[in-house]
Amino acid sequence: MEPILKLFTDLLPGLSQLPYWLLATLAALIAALVLFGFIAVFALFAIWLERKISAHMQDRLGPMEVGGWHGWAQTIADTLKLLMKEDIIPEKADRILFKLAPMIVFSVSIASFVVLPWSRDFIPADLNVGLLYILSISSLAVIGILMGGWASNNKWSLYGAMRSVAQIVSYEIPISLSLITVILITGTLSMQGIVQSQQGNFLSWNIFHYFPFMFVAFVIYFIASLAEVNRTPFDLPEAESELVAGFHTEYSGMRFAFFFLAEYANMFIVSAIAATAFLGGWLPPFSFLDFIPGPFWFFGKALFLVFVQMWLRWTLPRLRVDQLMYTSWKVLTPFSFVLILIVSFWQLLTL
């Protein structure tokens, strides 16, 4: 909270006369609004990017008409359409839970932005349990998904929600275990501390630490994070050929848009965690590039990983449910346990 408060009082000195609680509330509200704007703009951009990438991979052009240059305004038009659509709530649905579910899913993904380090000075809150905070907050999204799926009173929604939850709960384990290797190296859970321990050029990033073991840890994290955000090849919860649209089958209009926004925000969050934990966060790859500000590197690395996610989506087919569980429990989890052992032994030997 302090960096944001400092930013506010620097910009408007008159604000520092307000009582602390009022100032904190104001600052938090404004920060939340800015964050919402960022997520919305990022989602608009990412959806456009996804369409373009999918189109170019299939030798098509994608949206070309709206807005002139390469159809950049296509997603804005789609958003307006979603805004104007009728808001339908099924008659037999549990109305309160049905309305609450998209809010919970979206607010959980907003809450994860709190500990992302954007540059040396700018991080909304440098908690000393930063990484654990993100893991714990993101595990709450499961509850929103279950609520949405159950409250819709629809078999497809319920099955979609169940698949989604089974998938997220099982892939949380390899994610946490592969991040433990990072914590073993850096010795801190604070996001800023993790970035600062990777100072130097790109060879001192965690991904090249103890080569090739940390690289394997990165791959495990990346695969598991794909499953965590329900992206292909792990998009079984939304498998349209079997489940219509998964847990958000009954949602329409703005509520559906919120699930969608949360999905794209989550894509960014898992990529940002990967960039922080493995790719040096806001650090430039070479130290002579220091003059370019940190947010550029942080955002660039995260965006690159988002691009890889889209790339995989349009390259790989979807897994089967049993293959999904097999990958998590019999491949990724044992491998990350072995990695933890190797990394801790290596650390003991080189003490």
Taking CB under 8 A as the rule, does residue 344 contact another protein? Answer: no
Site for another protein in 137-156 (CB under 8 A): 137, 139-140, 142-143, 146-147, 149-150
Q: How far is it, in rounded angstroms, from Cα 131 to Cα 182?
A: 10
Site for another protein in 160-179 (CB under 8 A): 161-162, 165-166, 169, 172
Q: How far is it, in rounded angstroms, from Cα 240 to Cα 249?
A: 10
Chain centroid to Cα 348, Å, comes to 33
- Judged by CB under 8 A, the stretch of 24-32, 52-60, 131-139, 256-264 that binds another protein is 131-139
Nearest Cα residue to 79 out of 110, 46, 56:
46
Taking CB under 8 A as the rule, does residue 210 contact another protein? Answer: no
Q: How far is it, in rounded angstroms, from Cα 220 to Cα 337?
A: 11
Tokens representing residue 236 in the block: 């079984």
- Pick one of 7, 15, 129, 312: the residue that binds another protein (CB under 8 A): 129
- Judged by CB under 8 A, the stretch of 40-48, 80-88, 158-166, 339-347 that binds another protein is 158-166
- Pick one of 25, 128, 199, 287: the residue that binds another protein (CB under 8 A): 128
Binding mask 83-122 for another protein (x = CB under 8 A): -----------x--x-------------------------
Taking CB under 8 A as the rule, does residue 135 contact another protein? Answer: yes
- Written in H, E and C, the secondary structure of 262-299 is HHHHHHHHHHHHHHHHCCCCCCCCCHHHCCCCHHHHHH
Work out how close the CB of 46 gets to another protein at its nearest, in angstroms, rounded to a whole number.
26
Neighbours of 123 (CB within 10 A): 22
Segment (H or E) for 41? helix 20-57
Residues lying near another protein in the complex (CB under 8 A): 94, 97, 127-129, 132-133, 135-137, 139-140, 142-143, 146-147, 149-150, 158, 161-162, 165-166, 169, 172, 189, 322
